[in-house]
Amino acid sequence: MKSVEKGDFSKGSISSNVFRLAFPIILAELVQVAYSIVDRMYIGHIPGCGTEALTGIGLVLPFVTIITAFANLCSYGGATLSAIARGEKDDSKACHIMENAFTLLLISGLVLMILFYFFTSDLLMIMGADQTTAFYACEYFDIYIIGTVFVLISLGMNSFINMQGFSGIGMYTVLIGAVLNIILDPLLIFTLNMGIKGAAVATVISQFFSALWVVAFLAGKKAPIKLRHLRVEKQISFDIMKLGVSGFTFKATNSITQGIVNATLRQFGGVYGTLYIASMSIINSIREVTYQPVSGFVEGAKPVISYNYGAKKYSRVDKSIAFLMKMSLGYIVFIWAILMLFPQLLVRIFTSDPDLIATCIPCIRIYFCMFFMMPLQTSTQNAFTALKHPGYAVFFSLLRKVFLIVPLTIILPRVGFGVLGVFWAEVFSEVIGASASSLCMYFKVWKPIKKLAASEAAA
């Protein structure tokens, strides 16, 4: 336990190291997702306008995803490089990397807030909003963007807490925001009658206190690597963004895909376009909740992989990758069975509208039918990043989201699938993307690691 707390992952069992990091991260990320999901649950049940308001949330989801992408740009690259530097026993370098990442997050937050303020309305109309749904989308997002800097700091810098072995502290980052949001949502939405604006205000307040907690810990006495200065060093910043571009691309391509999906659903859904966009909003919510443990488990394994790679403990790198793959696949197969058997129970959490329920259930069964393959892509992409191979991670993220989902979303509705072709596009992309990514990972990266591990054992 002691070695893990100090961030030394070259000791102890692989499973213990990963679980000790992953469990608080999984819990924290589930809570993180929960409080964005709570917004949608309350919004979907607003009397008289729940479906339209939920559609509005679905329309701004690509913008929220872009904000998360910039958090990933700094946290994926920065935390990985910092972990490798710690494995090399260079704490000064690890500190400089963290300070550069923090400064980049501040700059990104301010730039994004200004850009969204001026261009949100135009982008919404391009992505399929009508006057009613655009109204609800703007009511929510015009307030949400005020907290952009807080979102980036709480999400992006929390990785540096986890990287140092304090995943329990990282869990509190999310718990603080989650508890506040869950308390404030019903108070502001219903009691004070603020509607969808109340959900946005609750989110901004919650993220502010989460960000405050992160900065207070990293600048405090307990953190081995302390945040002291705002720092922009050209080479370090470049290295952070170079390695973090895989995490950024993964989220940014999600955003692009979501925008195209919404526009296509509006076009081919006809008079039911709002119902299909609301259905996709529910599907995205279900996906976030059910898949988050895989993401958390991956985040728990990355510091272990990176640290041992920096320390040249290749047999432990090999075992860490194998453990990650087995655990991720085992969990998601169980979740996949629940999604296939009980979709109606999940949909009713977000809406009581019978038309929306009837529309959403067949869409869920299509969308998630090959869901069990997704951990193959997520695990391999993050292993690429942890081992300083960001090019592969970026390519396979682009392959699935840009080169597969985007054209399939556009083509399938036009060649006989109709509006349901949008949901089938996800299925085909999962099969092709996950297969290609895992094969490349094995032959190009994992197999060479195995050879180095064999040489290490022989020596």
Residue 205 pLDDT > 50, yes or no? yes
State pLDDT tens for residues 306-324.
889 888 899 999 999 999 9
pLDDT tier at 398, thresholds 50, 70, 90 = confident
Q: What is the pTM of this model?
A: 0.75
Query: For 170-184, what is the mean pLDDT?
Result: 87
What is the per-residue pLDDT for 366? 97
pLDDT higher than threshold 80 for residue 365: yes
Model confidence pLDDT, tens digit, residues 35-52? 667 778 888 888 888 888
Which pLDDT does position 261 carry in this prediction?
94
Does 333 have pLDDT greater than 70? Answer: yes
Does position 335 have pLDDT exceeding 90, yes or no?
yes
Percent of the chain surpassing pLDDT 70: 97
Report, as an integer, the average pLDDT of 339-362. 93
Mean pLDDT of 3-27: 76
Predicted local confidence at residue 2, as pLDDT: 42
- Of 115-119, 204-208, 248-252, minimum mean pLDDT range: 248-252
- pLDDT class of 3 with cuts at 50, 70, 90: very low
Range from 53-57, 119-123, 226-230, 307-311 that averages highest in pLDDT: 226-230
Between 103 and 23, the more confident residue is 103
- Smallest CA-to-CA distance from 5 within 172, 218, 165 is with 165
pLDDT at 293 over 80: yes
Mean pLDDT of the chain: 89
Q: Please report, rounded to a whole number, the percentage of residues in the chain having pLDDT higher than 90.
A: 55
Residue 128: pLDDT over 80? no
Higher pLDDT, 126 or 84: 84
